[in-house]
Structure 1
Amino acid sequence: MYEDSLSSKEKEVFEALKNVIDPELGVSLVDLGLIYSVEVDDQNVCHINWTLTTMGCPIIELLQDMIKKAALQVDGVKDCEAKLVYYPQWTPKMMSQVARLTLGIHL
């Protein structure tokens, strides 16, 4: 996801999502590369597309709730729709350098 193309409100949401930590991996969803898009519409509803590192993850609902909660903490965001998507398929190459170092992954 390209942070430079986001509006100021979308950047605020993206920054808030950096605080959403995957409880199993101890790394933010942003650094894991799981947040695919953030949009805030004219009604201040936030639309987030996100994915998982693996199919069948047992904490989907927890992650979804954490994403929504983080977005709703941004001033002016009235609602949040977090949509779980499976395309493009996630790969470790989508992780930030910070996530790779934290998890000991060398690509």
Structure 2
Amino acid sequence: MGTEFLQLESKIIEVLKTIFDPEIPVNIYDLGLIYEIDVDEEGKARVVMTLTSPNCPVAESMPEEVHEKVSAIDGITHVDLNLTFDPPWTKDMLSEEALLELGLM
């Protein structure tokens, strides 16, 4: 994968770090809600994400926000967003930054 695509993936991560779960004061990337990010040579992005639970109050709006913000990145031509609950999210998926923010470390 070329540098251009790695830069696009980095931009996607930056954007994802601006989206927060309303119930937890940590961004969705550091929460571990993003399982996969891929960008192909045509600028098509594939994002696989989950929610903290299937009954999450933002089950509809959060994926829409992710899709909109990733689509707005210069160089991204299409976004394929997949929502999955396999594997289910657990607290073990929190980043060190999230653990610190939540006082769990």
TM-score (structure 2 length as normaliser): 0.84
Deviation at 1:59, TM superposition (A): 1.0
Aligned twin of 2:85: 86
Deviation at 1:47, TM superposition (A): 0.8
Which 5+ residue runs of structure 1 have no aligned equivalent? 1-5
Aligned twin of 1:102: 101
Aligned twin of 2:70: 71
Query: Aligned letter for 1:51?
Result: T
Aligned twin of 1:35: 34
Identity between Structure 1 and Structure 2 (%): 34
1:29-53 CA deviation, whole Å, 9 max, x = no partner?
0010000111112331211000111
CA RMSD of aligned residues (A): 1.7
Take 2:81 and 2:103, find their aligned partners in 1: how far apart are those partners?
A: 29
Query: Aligned letter for 2:34?
Result: I
Take 1:26 and 1:42, find their aligned partners in 2: how far apart are those partners?
A: 35
Tell whether the 8 Å contact from 1:20 to 1:70 is kept in structure 2 after alignment.
no
Deviation at 1:102, TM superposition (A): 2.2
Aligned twin of 1:3: none
**What pairs up with 1:1-80 in 2 under 5 angstroms?**
7-80=6-79
Which 5+ residue runs of structure 2 have no aligned equivalent? none
Take 1:23 and 1:81, find their aligned partners in 2: how far apart are those partners?
A: 24
Structure with more of its chain in helix, by fraction: 1
1:30-79 CA deviation, whole Å, 9 max, x = no partner?
01000011111233121100011122112111110111122123211122
